[in-house]
Structure 1
Amino acid sequence: MAGNSQRRGRRTANKKGATVGTGGKGRRSLEGKGPTPPAEMRKGHAKQRAAQARARKATGRPAPRRGGPKGSSELVVGRNPVFEALRDGVPAKTLYVQQFIDNDERVRAALQLATQRGDVNLMEAPRPELDRMTNGLNHQGLVLQVPPYEYALPDELSAAAHDLGEDPLIVALDGVTDPRNLGAVVRSVSAFGGHGVVVPERRAAGMTAGAWKSSAGTAARTPVARATNLTRALEGYKKEGITVVGLAADGDAELHELAALEGPVCIVVGSEGKGLGRLVGETCDFKVRIPMPGGAESLNAGVAAGIVLYEVSRRRA
């Protein structure tokens, strides 16, 4: 009841009692932490990134892929596909071999390649287990597990170019769903000194074993970035001063007429059938067309990207 001073914990005066001190933490927080390290040693500093880029260029190592979303693990099944994947340098984690398999020429060659590479685990498994892994596909006793691809982030491609002191040259793919086309574009970007490829996260080809094979090994040194929203990624490039150029059959100018290709540029290539999406097309600074006097209506993404990359490389040279 009110005024009951016998109640436990009840305060009967306004004067505060003793309080707990900081234990000296306040004084320690004011102490200095020593001299500031050089810029080259500070994580995330532009000079540190430039030094790392120079070191990578001198040693031929690809730029690290940090923080990008990973793809899903993939299985390559069948004796010929597994052999070709190992022969073409597709990254592989484990080669599953059926117990008591008929040891023909393709099986022996696949096992030899996996052993020579040294980074592929060999696992023996009964046929029912391989049937379960492949959902009943005709695996012929060989199953190759390809690890998830580690995608870069779109802004990492332009950052790597700036760290090397070069104008960014990036290719973005809009609605390209054939992994072989993606691999061909990666190969062209590598051949003409580009800094990477950007693909959307949805409704687009990813870096599968087929894409790796089409890239002819260049995917090991040319990063592929995945964008949650391609339009937003292109707008980010524009804010960095990169000109976004879309390829379209109804482009306002022909390829050779565009002077913007000589500077930092992101080339956007659409699918062969539908071309560029509406929002992506509206985001482009320019739309250009490739002259085709032979009368063909369109080119696939790999061929179109190669033509534009050659034109950019010719001008920059």
Structure 2
Amino acid sequence: MEVLYGLHPVEEAIRSGGRRLDHVLLSRERGNPRLERLAELCKAAGVRVSLEGKDQLTRLAKTDAHQGAVAAVRERKFLAVEDLIAAPARFGRKFYLALDGVEDPHNLGALLRSADGAGVDGVLLPERRSAPITGVVAKTSAGASEHVPIARITNLVRSLEQLKKANTWVLGLDERGTPDYTEFDFASTDCVLVLGSEGSGLHDLVKKTCDHLLRIPMAGSVSSLNVSVAGAVVMYEALRQRQRPLTPAPVEKPAKPRKGLGS
């Protein structure tokens, strides 16, 4: 059993229907419309609700940032890479996100929130060298972690090669890469964006597996952005291109026969 806390994570866990909620604990605080709406949502979904004091909720959530809502949920069932490949694309071509060593749960939560907002078709998350999906991640993602398709993988390079066989371009983000991310065409082919760890970036073998290394141009003194910010920048550029309507090829009108003398 796992613990989710916070109004948005608990609400989105109920709305997504992705996993079973055993019960929800709400604060005894009266007159809070958000807690009252959450109680009604639980009732409509058939989820058992009990009222507790704030101290008890803090003890269960192990933080006082629970906003008066704590839920006990079944362990999440992750997908396989094959499931991501088989699912239909949300916007034209497929666009995945792969994480190579993102260990900060706040960065992971922020990336999942951006992935959901940008319509990413799935996230590849290694079992090792990666932050697990915890209550902190769910809270930081504002509940988006309950909606994003996530494949838990054992070997990132092997999974990237598997996507390559499915005609997917592997794109690493690297400050020394080329071209700029805005120069890549995300709308005409399936792609997976690979982000490296907070400190050292992409591992060498992962970098060698990439078909292209893209960069975000920097106009200031620092050489790179935080990984969650950098990921959001590229994900939304990909969304912009994938949502852009395709311009049909111009139809050439047949040439009119020319009339000459004697015709």
TM-score (norm 2): 0.71
How many percent of aligned residue pairs carry the same amino acid? 34
Distance in 2 separating the partners of 1:138 and 1:249: 36
1:113, 1:253 → 2: CA distance?
47
Given that residues 94 and 146 in structure 1 are in contact (C-alpha distance below 8 angstroms), is that contact kept between their aligned partners in structure 2? yes
Does the CA-based 8 Å contact 1:181-1:301 persist in structure 2? yes
Quote the offset at 1:138 in angstroms: 7.5
User: How far apart, in 1, do the equivalents of 2:180 and 2:8 lie?
Assistant: 40
Aligned residues: 230
1:40-59 alignment to 2 at 5 Å?
Answer: none
Partner of 1:182: 108
2:247 is the counterpart of 1:303: no
The offset of 1:247, in angstroms, is 0.6
1:257 aligned partner, one-letter code: E
Q: Which amino acid aligns with 2:81?
A: P
Q: Give the CA deviation at 1:112.
A: 6.7
Structure 2 Cα separation of the partners of residues 246 and 312 of structure 1: 14
- Larger CA deviation: 106-115 vs 247-256: 106-115
Give the CA deviation at 1:202: 1.7
1:89 is aligned to 2:12: yes
Equivalents in 2 of 1:93, 1:278: separation in Å?
A: 43
Distance 1:296 1:157, change over 3 A: same
Question: Per-residue displacement from partner, 1:52-87 (whole Å, max 9, x unpaired)?
Answer: xxxxxxxxxxxxxxxxxxxxx3235xxxx555644x
Once the two structures are TM-superposed, the CA of residue 184 in structure 1 deviates from its matched residue by 2.4
With normalisation by structure 1, the TM-score equals 0.60
Q: Are the equivalent residues in 2 in contact too, given 1:174–1:269 (CA < 8 A)?
A: yes
- By relative contact order (CA 8 Å, sep 6+), the higher-ranking structure is 2
Pick aligned residue for 1:122 from 46, 49, 55? 49
Deviations 1:212-236 (CA, angstroms, capped at 9, x unpaired): 3333344444311111111110010
Q: 1:93: Cα distance to partner?
A: 2.8
Q: Which residue of 2 aligns with 1:200?
A: 126
Matched, 1:146 2:73: yes
Higher Rg? 1
- Distance in 1 separating the partners of 2:191 and 2:128: 24
> Alpha-carbon deviation of 1:108?
10
* Matched letter for residue 79 of structure 2: A
1:180/1:293 CA distance change after superposition, 3 Å: same
**Match of 1:154, as an amino acid?**
V
Give SS of 2:77's match. coil
Aligned to 1:250: 176
